[in-house]
Structure 1
Amino acid sequence: MNAPRTARERARAELTAEILAAARRQLDEVGAAGLSLRSVARELGMASSAVYRYFASRDDLLTALIVQSYNEIGGAAEGADRPGEAPGERWLAVWRGVRAWSLAHRHEYALLFGTPVPGYIAPHITAEAAGRMPFALARIVVDAKRSGRLRPPPGPACPTDAIEPAMLELVGDIAGEAIDADETARLILAWNRLVAIIGYELHGHLVNITADDAVFFDHTARTEGAFNGLAFD
């Protein structure tokens, strides 16, 4: 059980949250590349030196925003999952949950999956949060495999040496069961397709192409689910 926080710790946590909220508003206005600690401090009516006591640099602030956003989109994926239902329905629900979060948080989505910020390199600390969304999909496939409801997937199998062994081990650890290179490759393709189709919608690349973005999105989700061996009614 965590010890109660002191008044100073609570005050620090509250001000950290205020700084992050102001930074997210700045993302809406100037984008990630234009974000600065000085502008955040100015919005909050603080001296920039005070903000530097919470975030030592612009990159530290960006990292905190990235981790926060990855955790939110991962939480949306996990929260949408319905473990008691059929694997195909779980898969579709997770895809829809990710899309709903993304449509409501366009600038945070762009921070995660859009144009890289010049000069910024994400540290390893972002990896755990980044994995929550794709691993939500992996758990559905592994659960289907464990329960005997995973169908033989269509198409050619992925070459064994195409996937890093460390990735196979990581996916297996997260999912709780060994998973082979072909299964991992199919999940990687599905995760990339999910990110891509949302990005196309957010940036207007489906205008005059799809008559209904939500219907086309569901079709894409089912197609990728079937490619991973899931059944849909």
Structure 2
Amino acid sequence: MSRPPTPRAIARAETLGRIKSLALAQLADSGATTISLRAIARDLGIVSSAIYRYYGSRDELLTALIVDAYEDLAAAVESATDHPRRGARRRFVDGCRALRDWARSEPHRWALVYGSAIPGYVAPQDTVAPAARVVRALCGPVVGHVTPPGPAPRGRLGSQLEATAAALDLAVDPSAMLLLTGAFGRLVGLLTLELNGHFVGGLDPADELWLALVEREADALGL
């Protein structure tokens, strides 16, 4: 039987949560490059050195925010696709809808994980599994239903696609992995364009555009 958390552990968890909340406020206000542990310490009312008891550096805090974002996004997509009785195409469309809904409700967190690289920040291995979970959440339900139109890629690309499928724990061949990679990349790109305002004055709101292109991706996958 596990012991209940101590008051000290509870207080630490609460402080970690407050630090993340303040960091997310900075992220929304002026972007990831301006996140400052000193400013967060000031808002918490503690000396700047005390915050390093919780996060050893700005990069460590960024990593925590990135992991949280991936995990939250993956959970949203998983919830939308966790309906085995629905067909593969329906589950794919539902997953794409959840992807967009999350991105539109959390644009700054979306930019944190799929936007421009943060100068000076190198993502550690800790971010790989959460990032893979997002891809697996969207692509997993269609495994076994993807219909590649041609022969499997060979050579270096074939080996890379095999390794990627293995890392994502997707039981697909290189041809199917190529299709899924292209679909995911185009969906992320489309959402990024929308969130950055590139459709304003023409294709905004982009609801119909998104659905039409998702349906086209489903067609391309052979669903």
TM-score, with structure 1 as normaliser = 0.88
Counterpart CA distance in 2 for 1:101 and 1:135 is 16
2:163 pairs, out of 166, 191, 194, with: 166
Report whether the alignment pairs 1:191 with 2:184.
yes
What amino acid maps onto 1:18 in structure 2? R
Find the counterpart in structure 2 of residue 134 from structure 1: 135
When residues 19 and 211 of structure 1 are mapped into structure 2, their CA distance, relative to the original with a 3 A threshold, is closer
Secondary structure, counterpart of 1:29 in structure 2: helix
Find the counterpart in structure 2 of residue 206 from structure 1: 199
Cα deviations across residues 64-91 of structure 1 (Å, max 9, x unaligned)? 1111111111111111113221111111
The correspondence of residues 40-189 of structure 1 with structure 2, limited to 5 A, is: 40-81=40-81, 82-142=83-143, 145=144, 150=145, 152-154=147-149, 156-161=150-155, 162-163=157-158, 164=160, 165-171=162-168, 174-175=169-170, 178-189=171-182
When residues 129 and 2 of structure 1 are mapped into structure 2, their CA distance, relative to the original with a 3 A threshold, is farther
Aligned residues: 219
Alignment root-mean-square deviation, CA: 1.7
Counterpart CA distance in 2 for 1:229 and 1:53 is 52
Cα deviations across residues 31-72 of structure 1 (Å, max 9, x unaligned)? 101111011112222221121100000111111111111111
Counterpart CA distance in 2 for 1:151 and 1:22 is 43
Counterpart CA distance in 2 for 1:107 and 1:17 is 18
Instruction: Report the CA distance between 1:151 and its aligned residue.
Output: 6.2
- 210-219 vs 17-26, which moves further: 210-219
What amino acid maps onto 2:129 in structure 1? E
Report whether the alignment pairs 1:221 with 2:218.
no
Report whether the alignment pairs 1:20 with 2:12.
no
When residues 50 and 27 of structure 1 are mapped into structure 2, their CA distance, relative to the original with a 3 A threshold, is same
Q: Are the equivalent residues in 1 in contact too, given 2:32–2:118 (CA < 8 A)?
A: yes
Cα deviations across residues 80-134 of structure 1 (Å, max 9, x unaligned)? 1132211111111111111111111111111111111111000010011111111
TM-score, with structure 2 as normaliser = 0.91
Identity of matched residues, %: 37
Q: Can you give the 5+ residue segments of structure 2 that lack an aligned partner in the other structure? A: none
When residues 168 and 153 of structure 1 are mapped into structure 2, their CA distance, relative to the original with a 3 A threshold, is closer
